Structure 1
Amino acid sequence: MRMRVLHTSDWHIGRRFKGVDLLDYQRKALEWLVSLIERERVDVLCVAGDVYDAPRPSAEAVRLFNEIFQRLGLMEINGHALQIVFTPGNHDSAARLGFGAALMRPNVHMRCDIAGIGTPVMVESADGERLAVYALPYLDPDLARPALQSLLGTMADGCGRADATDSRDADMVGTSGIAESSDAPETGGRNAGSHDMRTGKRHAGHTIQRSHEGVMRAALQVATA
């Protein structure tokens, strides 16, 4: 049986529309999502950002998220715990969403730190199928560029990256819905980068364009190195 992955985003819990509180409608939508996961026997749930509508959500919004989050975290599909991967969006506060991530259940994976984008979340289905999920948080061009440039520089100096978790035999997926490939996009111009004479591999330059496309290209290069 193939592993089933459900990708969702932009819950925007706590949003108001023209002065109307949408919390009751959002509760119904999230309860429908829970029932869908149960009905379709979903193995992996990827939530790609904007869980909340604001960096400082109301107490009611946090309460709704915690309620749904607890139900999802306790779900079992085909005898295995539902695997959940969260990343923050531009409406979320990465620090707030990731607070206490280390204390969460082992089937809940919060990826809020740029430094960890090159290490996939490894999940396994009931029949042993393995999947590597590369979860990219929202990347603000001004804030993300220094960290990504540092990661690319480290990769070039070390002639590649060695993951602590072996994902070579696993299928790969990104939370953005972009198919991952071993042919990483370059961050510089057409002739950017250099060749390692020992391995023959090409290393891209470290200059990242000041744009959403630029930081996303750099992040994908880190993830697929």
Structure 2
Amino acid sequence: MKFIHTSDWHIGRQLHNQSLLDDQRFVLDQIVELASQHDVDAVVVAGDIYDRSIPPANAVALLDDVVNRLVNELNIPLIMIAGNHDGHERLGFAARQMNDSGLHIIGPLSKDVRTIELQGKQGNAVFYGLPYADPATVRHVFDCEVSTHEEAMAKLLEQVHEHDSHGLPKIVVSHCFLDGGSESESERPLSIGGADKISPTLFTPFNYTALGHLHGPQYKGAEHVRYSGSMLKYSFSEQHQNKSVTLVDIAEDGAASFELLPLTAMRDVRIIEGLMAELLEQGKTDAHNQDYLMVRLTDKNAILDAMGKLRDVYPNVLHLERTGLMSDNTKVELSRDHIKKGELDMFSDFFAQVSGEPMTDEQQQAMTAAIEELHKVERTA
């Protein structure tokens, strides 16, 4: 049995108010191509299909296109479970009617854990889809007493242990936070205070566990308990992550082997730092100037329209930090002497910081006349 494990598509996501739909389409095309190229028996998406519980129409249209290409055109079964970002009921609409087509969607949690037996070219396997469920949901569905995410997951896995797979490999698909996993800023917390963490040992008895939620590819507890990671970088904290999907091959004896298949983004997400003049010069010849950028300016003087200047050479600057100004405490603390200064002196200081030169005599005279005129207006108002 050979399949692709992926997760955290977050279709419809924005990065600092920038739509990523075209970027997502670019990478999803690669996933479809990899599935065809490696002649896989299935594609498994371990949750967070969409970024919001009520996804925008263009996000739904994109997923519809991907599903059609995989299931109808390539005849590759597709298994998707709901993650914490998904609207479980909406994602699972008409799921029972679509099973026979090769599309298996596990939306809301049900009392009977969903089992899906798939036929592979070199052997069959049974997949168990466990959508994201917090302890309150598990208590309600199973009428049991669980208070932590680990207790809730243990309750769900009871049925997986008990199910007779007739000797076929057992593959668990889940969306959760394993203890010790490496986080990023773009992952929505499942709870506060660490109560969402689950021991990896719960999953080690199975032949493979396809996990979603954490955006960096990694494994915990054992190599066959794995996160595929997200298909794109969804925060600047992920700038050093290499995005991929996991190609999983289950041998006849049930042993799993893995290969990370790299994904290439249309635009990278990265952080650059330096003086304004240096970055503007660098941007003129930067072959990747269309990337999504966070810029950290080290200049210690004020700069008019810094974002506009940067976007002339880096059109997709999404966030700007003035680290040079923040590091110079003398620039952010107003001294008593500065407060005592008059309007002309304060404007002269501002002018010198922005332009790098002091005001000329003519400029000072013009500003003095403007200030006096403003005072006249105030007195007569």
TM-score (structure 1 length as normaliser): 0.67
Residue 123 of structure 2 is aligned to residue 125 of structure 1: no
1:144-155 maps to which residues of 2 (within 5 A)?
144-150=138-144
Distance 1:67 1:147 in 2: 33
Distance 1:170 1:89 in 2: 26
Distance 1:46 1:28 in 2: 19
Instruction: State whether residues 114 and 148 of structure 1, in contact with CA within 8 Å, keep that contact through their aligned partners in structure 2.
Output: no
1:84-95 maps to which residues of 2 (within 5 A)?
84-95=78-89
Instruction: State whether residues 111 and 142 of structure 2, in contact with CA within 8 Å, keep that contact through their aligned partners in structure 1.
Output: no
Choose from 63, 66, 82 the match for 1:65. 63
Residue 27 of structure 2 is aligned to residue 29 of structure 1: yes
Instruction: State whether residues 87 and 112 of structure 1, in contact with CA within 8 Å, keep that contact through their aligned partners in structure 2.
Output: yes
Distance 2:18 2:106 in 1: 32
1:113 — aligned with what? 108
Instruction: State whether residues 73 and 105 of structure 1, in contact with CA within 8 Å, keep that contact through their aligned partners in structure 2.
Output: no
Instruction: Read off the aligned partner of 1:137 and give its amino acid letter.
Output: P
Distance 2:78 2:54 in 1: 23
Q: Cα distance, 1:84 vs. partner?
A: 1.3
Change (3 A) 1:64 1:42: same
Instruction: State whether residues 112 and 137 of structure 1, in contact with CA within 8 Å, keep that contact through their aligned partners in structure 2.
Output: yes
Superposed CA deviations along residues 86-140 of structure 1, whole A, max 9, x for unmatched, are: 100000001000011122252111112322553421111134x110111110012
Distance 2:21 2:12 in 1: 6
Residue 137 of structure 2 is aligned to residue 143 of structure 1: yes
% same residue: 31
1:144-223 maps to which residues of 2 (within 5 A)?
144-150=138-144, 167-176=165-174, 211-213=195-197
Instruction: State whether residues 87 and 137 of structure 1, in contact with CA within 8 Å, keep that contact through their aligned partners in structure 2.
Output: yes
Instruction: Read off the aligned partner of 1:122 and give its amino acid letter.
Output: E
Change (3 A) 1:89 1:130: same
Distance 1:93 1:177 in 2: 14
Greater C-alpha Rg = 2
2:13 — aligned with what? 15
Q: Cα distance, 1:149 vs. partner?
A: 4.2
Distance 1:10 1:108 in 2: 18
Instruction: Read off the aligned partner of 1:12 and give its amino acid letter.
Output: H
Distance 2:145 2:171 in 1: 21
Instruction: Read off the aligned partner of 1:144 and give its amino acid letter.
Output: V
Structure 2: gaps of 5 or more residues? 147-157, 177-194, 206-381
Structure 1: gaps of 5 or more residues? 153-159, 179-210
SS at match of 2:96: helix
Distance 1:50 1:5 in 2: 19
Number of paired residues? 175
Q: Cα distance, 1:145 vs. partner?
A: 2.4
Distance 1:35 1:116 in 2: 36
Structure 1 runs of 4+ aligned residues shifted over 6 Å read 160-163, 216-221
Change (3 A) 1:111 1:220: farther
SS at match of 1:6: strand
Instruction: Read off the aligned partner of 1:37 and give its amino acid letter.
Output: A
